[in-house]
Amino acid sequence: MDVEVTGTELLRFDDGAPVRAASAVVALGDGRLVVSDDATHAAWFRPDAGPSRVRLLPPVEGHEVFAEESGTKHLKPDLETACRVEVDGEEAVLLMGSGSSARRMRWCLLRLRDGVPEVATADMDELYADVAASLGVDADDLNLEGACIVGRSLRWFHRGLPSAGLPSGSVDLALDAALAAATGQRRTLQVQAPRTYDLGSVDDVGLAITDVVALPDGDLLACAAAEDSPNPRDDGRVTAAALARIRGDEVVEVGPLPDHDGRVLKVEGLMLLGAADGEVTLYAVTDVDDPDAASWAATLRVRL
């Protein structure tokens, strides 16, 4: 696998404020929705309008953004996953918290009504407990960071912490049942097909999955980071980043991501732009682990 960075940009709102801690990116309408894991709102980038804020959740104890420096990190909803879905034949985006605390166990379903974003939320704490049990992970260590559609299943990926003996993994949810739960029509979901993945390591720090997209040929392409962190909640030094090709239950190929300006591109969100003739184009967003800094976005050309 050969990965080339063909373009980069800093992500800011139309008022110049930074798009912080980008954790996911997904198509929405004629643009792209970039989700931040430390904010109650996302950024909607459209070709004929300035980047705008889209509210996903109400303020938490009066806070819209969260950071360790302000003593509010424990309050953040930690929306790490955004997956494009269809509800009643119309496009929608399912956003999911990472788990590990009650505040991080909510789902948001975003739909466009006459071009205006509309969001419904659901508390999913019972499901998160079932996912943790299925993967053999303590609830405090759950860190769900990506999802994609595989057939009629929603495959949900746990980042894990390989250096602490917690491998990356995934579970499957029946897609129709998951969407019914997100719209309040169903309370229970069955967790199926738990898997774990070995992506290898860099400088003795294990690579862990941060997002996944499905390719037209049925394979999955995951971004991964080797982050030397003490637990799933605290940031650590990122020693490397990579893309991994997954076929069935197996990681069949891993390729390094190039650095940008001497820094590791800690990609946490992937969006497929195109795939043809053994080449894939991706739009990737990064978390720079600095609450005051704008997130980078990069266009990647991947030769498989």
HEC letters along the chain: CEEEEEEEEECECCCCCECCCEEEEEEECCEEEEEECCECEEEEEECCEEEEEEECCCCECCECECCCCCCCHHHCCCEEEEEEEEECCEEEEEEEECCCCHHHCEEEEEEEECCEEEEEEEECHHHHHHHHHHHCCCHHHCCEEEEEEECCEEEEEECCEHHHCECEEEEEEEHHHHHHHHCCCCCCCCCEEEEEECCCEECCEEEEEEEEEECCCCCEEEEEEEEECCCCCCCCEEEEEEEEEEECCEEEEEEECCCECCECCCEEEEEEEEEECCEEEEEEEECCCCCCCCCEEEEEEEEC
Residue 234's pLDDT band, with cuts at 50, 70 and 90, is: low
Assess whether pLDDT exceeds 90 at residue 89.
no
Q: Are 5 and 300 in contact (CB under 8 A)?
A: yes
Look up the pTM and report it.
0.94
Indicate if the pLDDT at residue 288 is higher than 80: no
- The pLDDT mean for the chain works out to 92
Per mean pLDDT, which range of 12-16, 94-98, 212-216, 229-233 is the poorest? 229-233
CATH code for position 135: 2.120.10
| pLDDT at residue 161 tops 90 | no
- pLDDT per residue as tens digits for the range 120-154: 999 999 999 999 999 999 988 999 999 999 999 99
pLDDT in tens, 36-67: 999 999 999 999 887 999 999 999 999 998 88
Above pLDDT 70, what percent of the chain? 97
Question: Residue 123 CB: number of other CB atoms within 10 A?
Answer: 12
Q: Give me the mean pLDDT over the 231-242 stretch.
A: 76
In the prediction, which pLDDT does 33 show?
Answer: 97
The yes-or-no verdict on residue 73 having pLDDT over 90 is: no
At residue 231 the predicted structure's pLDDT band, cuts being 50, 70 and 90, is low
268: domain range?
2-303
How many separate domains does the chain show?
A: 1
pLDDT at 195: 97
